[in-house]
Chain A
Amino acid sequence: MSSQALQMPRWMDLVLLPLWNLLIALLVAGGVVLLIGASPWQALTVLLEGALGSARGLGYTLYYTTTFIFTGLAVAVAFHGGLFNIGGEGQATLGGIGVALLSLWLGPKLPAVVMLPLAVAAAALFGMLWAAVPGYLQAWRGSHVVITTIMFNFLAASLNGYLLVNWLRPAGSMSVESSDFAPSARMPAIHELAASFGWELPSSPLNLSIVLAVLACFFVWWFLWKSRAGYVLRAVGANPSAAHYAGIRPRWQVLAAMGLSGALAGLVGINEIAGVQGKLTLDFVAGAGFTGIAVALMGRNHPVGIVLASLLFGVLYQGGVEVSFEVPGFSREMVVTVQGLIVLFAGAMAMVSAPMFAKLYTLVSRRARQAEGKSHG
């Protein structure tokens, strides 16, 4: 995820390149749709209609967006600290476990105004701790954070399965999930809130977590670019040895970057477990941790870009479900393919298209300067 300094204006780097990468990914995906004998145009219209054409569809889209904002921010914060956190999946799982343990314990005793902030804190804390261990191992023991976080994803899935099967599953229940939380531990759904103000909205999983996601965006922006701690974190990410000379201890910054990253990923637990499920389930993260990588790459690791990229993936995920209902032979895994292609083109092959644009820009600007020179001469 490194980029060399290339000669090009900011709008090209921040707007044109992501759009170009998206276009290529969509073109390849369109080719796959043609290959399986469906019409890409029909798929696209059904996708947009399904994701944005109705209040219900929009609710689902924004619900997916909420989760992707959390995981996208998580990847971005780690990236600014010079780390690649592939462990969003596991950290989100732990966040959900934290929410569930607290809600099952205190949910029946506490009112929602106390319970929900505590649940948010538990999600962040559990995610933070799960990410801090790989951070510590990288900073002090020299094991690479990429490998460790991959391992921790599997460990989180095992832990979740163990807790559900052996401890949290109600006696006599066949399905592997915990008992339902008390109503005070449920994040209120937007359509319920709207109904209490007399505004009828179709039911969707969209809940108050989206407000939390927006707050998280503002916090990450403030932290990274306006706070001293964020400056230190970015300094280490940009050049650890220079930061060390400037009196910063890089090890603690690795820990801080991973901790904050994990806390953000852990908040997925609020949206999925407290907001939608109302109980702990197996595999509720469902790949969102990996979608966060694509989101951060598309969003250029900036909160504004991450919100836009999360919306894009929200549209793809919700629309993809609709397309799989409407278009025969089409499956929603197409979205995972598109996601992979975006990571490929915007991430792994970023150095293929960026130099091309830089060259093009240099060429055009030189032409323009020559033309200007002639008209003045």
Chain B
Amino acid sequence: MDEVLIGSVLASTLRVTTPLLFAALAGLLSERSGVVDIGLEGKMLAAAFAAAAVASVAHSTPLGIAAAIAVACAMSALHGFACVTHRGDQVVSGVALNMVAAGLTVVLGIAWFAQGGQTPPIDAAQRLTGLLPQWAEPVPGSWVASVLGHGLLSHNVLVYLAFALVVAVWFFLERTRPGLRLRAVGENPAMVDAAGVSVPRLRYTALMLNGVLCGLGGAYLTLAQNASFSPNMTAGRGFIALAAMIFGKWKPLPTLAACLLFGFLDAMAIRLQGVSLPGIGEVPVQAIQALPYVLTVVLLAGFIGQAVAPKALSKPYVKER
């Protein structure tokens, strides 16, 4: 039965890692350009609501995803208007976005659908399902079908997109000219400005990419992972993603590793409930759920390695006159 266990843990790890990965990469792009993004949670929540609302009413998956991206980008633009254009406090702006999203999704959900804040269930035809349905369940006795098939190849398109985006973001940041500029604007905006490149434009670009990724992460929650929106369904995923990004030291590949670790812990938390581990005894679920936060605090405090934030992070840029 080992192959079934390994296959299903692998599959659920990848499933819960996907939204974390979208949000963490979104945060990474924004923060590498020097803009703090506490609002990942709110953007994902609003995007999840938009995707579910549009997909269930218009019966169209692409429209749902487009709505999610549009909403998340609009929130990113608002963040940019407050913090890049008017040099407002980036943390305060993020907190505000989270509050507005938490409130407005429920207000609109109750007003439009009258189901206690939930959206109507999305039709099976509009839901994103596994690309290879024959491996939807692990097969006892077959390692290939359970681990390779169910574990790795049974997922929907957004899962693979999220992992592909890790490489894409890495390539963009490390190997392209706009990526280099984006990193530079997060370290030394005055230098970028002196080179004749617009600091606000770069930061807005980063925020728009951030919006697209947050939108995909939110759409994944309602179109793939669940079949409808329910109030506060992100349940702290945006903050776990933020933690993963910091744990990954603001770099794409280590961020992927952190997301996988946190996703694995999440997948194991349910399975370890009430199970006595040899030598340790029963581990409380809360301890496993708290582990990502503990690890991030310990890392940030410099007790395991060092996480150095982009130098210009959270500092509004004032052009010299």
Q: Give the B-binding residues of A (Cβ under 8 A).
A: 1-2, 32, 35-38, 84, 86, 137, 141-144, 146-148, 150-152, 154-155, 158-159, 161-162, 165-166, 290, 293-294, 297, 329-331, 333-341, 343-344, 347-352
B103 touches which of A146, A161, A336 (Cβ 8 Å): A336
Residue ID in chain B nearest A294 by CB atoms: B99
A344 touches which of B96, B114, B290 (Cβ 8 Å): B96
A162 to chain B, nearest CB (A): 4
Total of A-B residue pairs, C-beta within 8 Å: 163
**In the complex, what distance in Å separates the CA atom of A1 from the CA atom of B94?**
12
A31 to chain B, nearest CB (A): 11
**In the complex, what distance in Å separates the CA atom of A165 from the CA atom of B97?**
33
**In the complex, what distance in Å separates the CA atom of A336 from the CA atom of B99?**
6
**In the complex, what distance in Å separates the CA atom of A329 from the CA atom of B231?**
16
A150 touches which of B97, B103, B242 (Cβ 8 Å): B242
A340 touches B302 (CB 8 A): no
B287 within 8 A of A: yes
Chain B residues with CB under 8 Å of A141's CB are 300-303
Residue ID in chain B nearest A353 by CB atoms: B86
Q: Which residues of B in the span 98-120 have a Cβ within 8 Å of any Cβ on A? A: 98-104, 106-108, 110-112, 114, 117
Chain B residues with CB under 8 Å of A144's CB are 300, 309
Chain A residues with CB under 8 Å of B287's CB are 158, 162
B103 touches A347 (CB 8 A): no
B38 touches A146 (CB 8 A): yes
A348 touches B103 (CB 8 A): no
User: Given contacts A330-B111, A333-B231, A347-B95, could you give 15 more A-B pairs where the C-beta distance is less than 8 Å?
Assistant: A32-B107, A32-B108, A36-B111, A84-B89, A141-B302, A148-B297, A158-B289, A158-B293, A162-B286, A166-B284, A333-B102, A333-B107, A333-B117, A336-B103, A337-B103
C-beta contact mask, B79-100 vs A, less than 8 Å → 1, else 0? 0011100111101110111111
B294 within 8 A of A: yes
**In the complex, what distance in Å separates the CA atom of A341 from the CA atom of B293?**
28
A375 to chain B, nearest CB (A): 38
Q: Give the A-binding residues of B (Cβ under 8 A).
A: 36, 38, 78, 81-83, 86-89, 91-93, 95-104, 106-108, 110-112, 114, 117, 231, 236, 239, 242-243, 246, 284, 286-287, 289-290, 293-294, 296-297, 300-303, 309
A348 touches B96 (CB 8 A): yes
Closest 3 A/B residue pairs (Cβ): A340-B99, A337-B103, A336-B103
A-B contact pairs, 30 of them (CB 8 A): A32-B104, A37-B111, A141-B302, A142-B301, A147-B242, A151-B293, A151-B294, A155-B293, A158-B289, A158-B293, A159-B290, A161-B286, A162-B286, A331-B107, A333-B103, A333-B110, A334-B107, A336-B102, A337-B103, A339-B99, A340-B96, A340-B100, A343-B92, A344-B78, A344-B82, A344-B96, A344-B100, A347-B96, A348-B83, A348-B89
A351 touches which of B88, B236, B289 (Cβ 8 Å): B88
Residue ID in chain A nearest B106 by CB atoms: A333
**In the complex, what distance in Å separates the CA atom of A162 from the CA atom of B36?**
32
B271 to chain A, nearest CB (A): 18
Chain B residues with CB under 8 Å of A84's CB are 89, 91-92
Given contacts A36-B107, A331-B117, A333-B103, contact A143 B300 (CB under 8 A): yes
A137 touches which of B86, B108, B300 (Cβ 8 Å): B300
Residue ID in chain A nearest B110 by CB atoms: A331
A159 touches which of B89, B236, B286, B301 (Cβ 8 Å): B286
Chain B residues with CB under 8 Å of A344's CB are 78, 82, 93, 96-97, 100
A343 touches which of B96, B236, B286 (Cβ 8 Å): B96
Chain B residues with CB under 8 Å of A329's CB are 110-111, 114
Chain B residues with CB under 8 Å of A165's CB are 284, 286
**In the complex, what distance in Å separates the CA atom of A119 from the CA atom of B296?**
32
B300 touches A297 (CB 8 A): no
Of listed B78, B96, B117, residue having the most chain A CB within 10 A: B96
A331 touches B106 (CB 8 A): yes
**In the complex, what distance in Å separates the CA atom of A84 from the CA atom of B38?**
13
B88 touches A341 (CB 8 A): no
Chain A residues with CB under 8 Å of B296's CB are 147, 151
A290 touches B89 (CB 8 A): no
A143 touches B38 (CB 8 A): no
B112 touches A341 (CB 8 A): no
Residue ID in chain B nearest A324 by CB atoms: B110
Residue ID in chain B nearest A36 by CB atoms: B111
Residue ID in chain A nearest B108 by CB atoms: A36
**In the complex, what distance in Å separates the CA atom of A294 from the CA atom of B81?**
20
**In the complex, what distance in Å separates the CA atom of A165 from the CA atom of B101?**
31
B82 touches A2 (CB 8 A): no
Chain A residues with CB under 8 Å of B290's CB are 154-155, 158-159
Chain A residues with CB under 8 Å of B104's CB are 32, 333, 337, 340
**In the complex, what distance in Å separates the CA atom of A329 from the CA atom of B112?**
8
A349 touches B302 (CB 8 A): no
A340 touches B103 (CB 8 A): yes
Chain B residues with CB under 8 Å of A150's CB are 38, 239, 242
Given contacts A137-B297, A337-B100, contact A348 B110 (CB under 8 A): no
Residue ID in chain A nearest B293 by CB atoms: A151
Chain A residues with CB under 8 Å of B88's CB are 347-352
B246 touches A36 (CB 8 A): no
A86 touches B99 (CB 8 A): no
B108 touches A341 (CB 8 A): no
Residue ID in chain B nearest A338 by CB atoms: B103
**In the complex, what distance in Å separates the CA atom of A347 from the CA atom of B95?**
10
